Amino acid sequence: MTDLPEIHGVCPPRFAAVKDAFAANFTDAPEGLHELAAGFSVCIEGETVVDLRAGWADTARTRPFEADTLVPVFSTGKAVMAMLIALAVERGLLDYERPVASYWPAFGAAGKETVTVGQLMSHQAGLPGFDEAVEPSLWFDPTSVLERLCAQAPMWAPGTASGYHPITIGYLAGELFRMVDGRTMGAALREEFAGLDLWIGLPEVEHDRVAQMRKPTSAPDLGSIDAVKRSAFLDKGSAPGGRGSTEWRMMEIPSANLHGTARDLARLMTVLVAGSFEGREMLSEATLAAARRERIHGQDRVLPFVMGWAAGWTMNAGLEVFGPNPDALGHYGWGGSCAWADPEARLSAAYVMTRQSPHLIGDPRAVRLQKALYSAL
């Protein structure tokens, strides 16, 4: 048991069980993962109905976790990345069923000429990492990263299986978006969702608002290790490094370094529920259907799960990590953060935290909050 910090925010009586679960994650957390700081937010029919936060933004407990404290959410940012690709599809700039190479000829080298946009976004392109070890600093040179990935042959036949692309998908999707839209994903996020405190590439002037993270005490369980998993997670240079946190935060890595709040992640995910954002239509029914539909289901080549992928989001069916409804979809990030949309329940939600766990998906603290939320509906 640990002490319960003061809980701030909004939680009407209807959702008292959610606040109780949120408090329990600080005092009686599963697996001893007691929160240092956390936020949880829920939107129903596009309106924020729950927005809770508590804890300290630093490990020394000198800075309260405020409404504008930013949290690095790592791969949860892929949910935002996928939303920007969906916007490009809505505007006719991309088509999920067309080959990536029809927009970006260099990508089609080495057997990738038929990989579609939808296959790329559902982790079927066979490029989860580099086929030889590289220096971690390479990731700070996006041009070199893209040249290597374009020249590289797929690690399995594209379209036959998914294999989670932890970092590479952000460079590939980000460059494809830039080619057809003209803006980087970071710039488009700020312009399309003005007012949301979400950042792909965080200006140095905002760094003082970032919460300190406590890394997991153990590595995630990847199952049996092979060359594909090593390239994705374990090889030297499988993730950015060697330049320090300031430069990492400032880089635009749509797959890995989004900074934001639970409140605004949940607000953005409302688009996947009804296609609109604060009264402005963003995605038509046709685009929503194409973005949300399951594109592949089976044993993932990188993650140790039988799972399904939509066009950039993890499907809930078979996993039950986004509540009870199979058509819910979203994304988890390193350490436990998550954001999801549930069209059936007409809700979207997000969870952020600063004590990281080794769970790849389905962090037990997030699942506890989800169970409490759905029990209150």
3-state SS record for 62-100: CCECCCCCEEEEECCHHHHHHHHHHHHHHCCCCCCCCEH
pLDDT of the residue at 3: 82
Three-state SS at 330? strand
| Per-residue tokens: 62 | 């000198």
Kindly state the average pLDDT of the residues 14-38: 96
Is the C-alpha dihedral spanning 18, 20, 26, 29 positive or negative?
A: negative
Task: Answer whether residue 277 shows pLDDT above 80.
Answer: yes
Q: Whose CA is closest to 245, among 374, 102, 72, 376?
A: 72
* pLDDT tens-digit readout, 265-276: 999 999 999 999
Report the predicted TM-score, pTM, of the whole model to 2 decimal places.
Answer: 0.98
- Catalytic positions, please? 75
Percent of the chain that is helix, strand, coil (3-state, to 5): 35, 20, 45
* pLDDT tens-digit readout, 101-113: 999 999 999 999 9
Task: Answer whether residue 2 shows pLDDT above 80.
Answer: no
pLDDT of the residue at 17: 98
Which amino acid, one-letter code, is at 152?
Answer: Q
* pLDDT tens-digit readout, 131-179: 999 999 999 999 999 999 999 999 999 999 999 999 999 999 999 999 9
Quick one: pLDDT band at residue 73, thresholds 50, 70, 90?
very high
| Per-residue tokens: 100 | 């990536």
Quick one: pLDDT band at residue 1, thresholds 50, 70, 90?
low
Four-CA torsion 307, 347, 337, 28, nearest 10 degrees? -110
Kindly state the average pLDDT of the residues 259-286: 97
Percent of the chain with pLDDT over 90: 98
Cα(264)–Cα(260) distance, integer angstroms? 7
Kindly state the average pLDDT of the residues 73-94: 98
Task: Answer whether residue 285 shows pLDDT above 70.
Answer: yes
Task: Answer whether residue 353 shows pLDDT above 70.
Answer: yes
Average pLDDT score, the chain: 97
3-state SS record for 111-172: HCCCCEHHHHHCCCCCCCCCCCCCCHHHHHCHHHHHHHHHHCCCCCCCCCCCCCCCCHHHHH
Q: Whose CA is closest to 310, among 320, 295, 321?
A: 295
Kindly state the average pLDDT of the residues 203-230: 96
Kindly state the average pLDDT of the residues 290-296: 98
